[in-house]
Amino acid sequence: MSEVSSDAEETLSQRAYIARRLIGNVYELSGPCKMVVKTIEGKYFTKPFIGEEEFVLGNVYTSKTGKIILVFATTGQTNLREVVSVEVPLGQCSLFTNFEQDYSEALYKALFNEGMVEKEVQKDIKDLYADREDFGSW
């Protein structure tokens, strides 16, 4: 593995680690947009939203293409009965009110208050995916 890919993997791990700290937070869409949704039947499609729908961050994973994906579940405040969740790349989470501020605060706390170290990040990632046989199979 080259230095560049090693550095990229380290950065990816750190970003996913920070995003996982926000699991459980509720966010509201700041305006109209289209997002990938997952239905009760497990099907995926793109759906338009008008804004102000509420979602709770439920999971974070790294896609096969190397993007950090955040999975937001619908809350009781939305009128989206057929939608189980929406999946949004980390770079597009500015669609959610206060997400960027929360992410920045979590990053600050991890870097300065807790002295985040690469070993801790790698251990958390390893523990998170320990029960997934398919992780890293691609």
Distance between CA atoms of residues 58 and 95, nearest Å: 16
Distance between CA atoms of residues 86 and 69, nearest Å: 10
Q: Tens digits of per-residue pLDDT, 58-80?
A: 999 888 888 899 999 887 655 56
- Tell me the residue range of the domain where 15 lies: 3-128
Q: Does residue 10 fall inside a structural domain? A: yes
Q: Does residue 133 fall inside a structural domain? A: no
Q: Tens digits of per-residue pLDDT, 19-69?
A: 889 999 999 999 999 988 888 888 888 989 888 888 999 999 888 888 899
Q: Does residue 20 fall inside a structural domain? A: yes
Q: Does residue 22 fall inside a structural domain? A: yes
Please give the backbone phi and psi of residue 124, each rounded to the nearest 5 degrees, phi first. Answer: -60, -40
Distance between CA atoms of residues 118 and 110, nearest Å: 11
Q: Does residue 136 fall inside a structural domain? A: no
Q: Does residue 135 fall inside a structural domain? A: no
Q: Does residue 117 fall inside a structural domain? A: yes
How many folded domains does the chain comprise?
1
Check: pTM over 0.75? Answer yes or no: no
- Mean pLDDT for the chain overall: 78
Q: Does residue 63 fall inside a structural domain? A: yes
